[in-house]
Amino acid sequence: MSAIYAMWLREVKRYLRSRVQIVASLAQPTMYLLILGFGLGPVFQEAGKGSYIQFVAPGVVGMSILFSSIFSGVGLLFDRQFGFLKETLVAPVPRTNIMIGRTLGSATIACIQGTLVLTVCMLAGFRPVSWGQFPIALLFMLLIATVFAALGTAIGSVLKDMQGFQIIMNFLVMPIFFLSGALFPLTNLPAPLSVLTHMDPLSYGIDALRSQLISVTHFGAALDAAVLGACAVAFLALGTRLFSKIEI
């Protein structure tokens, strides 16, 4: 447990020391929120769907968590390049603890960024339907972050090349985001697109956030929690196995 806590604390401290990273992490979500939120707002309202800011804000929060958590694998490549990973792996602690600590640290950072983005959303006019459900929304944010931080660690464990990681991440991240329903409702989609959205773990994460923040759900909060929990367990198991095979 001490190894898990040490790795978690290291990841969080590294993030908190980087003020540039904190500010930069807000740029892309804010752009999506302001440009799309206000740009498509009149169209969304004319379609009888209400405020687009209310609809898109949980999607923007989910996007921020996705990008932050899954790109945690980049940190693994940096640690390998500069030798810190070798020093960590030769320590007399199970590699499983190291991997879990890194993943939980990355998930915590992603939740912090998601909370900051949610604050920006509120400044832009977003209002949760019920503050009583806000703690449950935070738990879903942590679950989303754990899923994709574990996936990022798994991918980072098998790659040694930074360029290769960027290509794979871009190939995965953008489809995961755009198929999640972050920017559009999941109802009345063409059958092939509907199948893809149902296969996307982030679809259930954003639906879970909407269920708690604006009381709108497509799958149901119970199914959202079940799918996210299953994905978290599966990706943690995969990440642990791949991380344990890293050669130093």
Domain that holds residue 171: 2-244
Instruction: Tell me the pLDDT band of 99, cut-offs 50, 70 and 90.
Output: confident
Q: Which residue has the higher pLDDT, 243 or 23?
A: 243
Q: Which residue has the higher pLDDT, 11 or 70?
A: 70
3-state class (DSSP) for residue 218: coil
d(CA 217, CA 199): 17
Amino acid at 82: F
- Token pair recorded at residue 58: 């949980």
- Token pair recorded at residue 137: 């929304």
Instruction: Tell me the pLDDT band of 220, cut-offs 50, 70 and 90.
Output: very high
- Token pair recorded at residue 40: 């498509």
- Token pair recorded at residue 28: 């892309």
Residue 45 CA: distances (Å) to CA of 38, 49, 57, 194:
11, 5, 15, 23
Chain segment 29-64, per-residue pLDDT in tens: 778 777 777 776 676 666 556 778 888 899 999 988
Residue whose structure tokens are 């929304």: 137
- Looking at the 3D structure of the chain, how many domains does it have? 1
- Cβ 128 vs Cβ 38: under 8 Å: no
